[in-house]
């Protein structure tokens, strides 16, 4: 996978993160985005984030904690329609 395959425009050097999306397999037909509590976002993100940084558990936990505190958090419930 390369970003040019899905974004033919020039890719910016930096991007601002303005929100966190917690992915969820919804099972319904349509996808949806709904607010989620910072606590629930942290619980959803922490296991995979910490597992991907095994030597950095404490700093990884702080990183995700800071992100969920500073940014609005949403659940992206993925529907069954891939064309969405």
Task: Give the pLDDT confidence of 16-40 residue by residue, as tens digits.
Answer: 999 999 999 988 889 999 999 999 9
Interval 54-65: pLDDT, tens = 666 677 778 888
* pLDDT at residue 79 is higher than 80: yes
d(CA 82, CA 84): 5
27 in the Ramachandran plot: left (φ > 0), alpha (ψ -120 to 50) or beta? Answer: left
pLDDT of residue 53: 63
Give which of 35, 66, 60 is closest to 47, Cα–Cα: 60
Both structure tokens of 16: 């601002």
pTM (2 decimals)?
0.73
pLDDT of residue 8: 74
pLDDT of residue 61: 77
């Amino acid at each position: 996978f390369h970003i040019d395959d899905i974004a033919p425009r020039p890719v910016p050097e930096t991007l601002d993160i303005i929100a966190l999306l917690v992915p969820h397999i919804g099972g319904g037909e349509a996808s949806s985005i709904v607010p989620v509590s910072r606590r629930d976002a942290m619980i959803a993100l922490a296991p995979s984030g910490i597992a991907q940084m095994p030597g950095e558990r404490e700093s990884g936990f702080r990183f995700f904690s800071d992100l969920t505190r500073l940014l609005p958090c949403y659940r992206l419930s993925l529907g069954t329609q891939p064309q969405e």
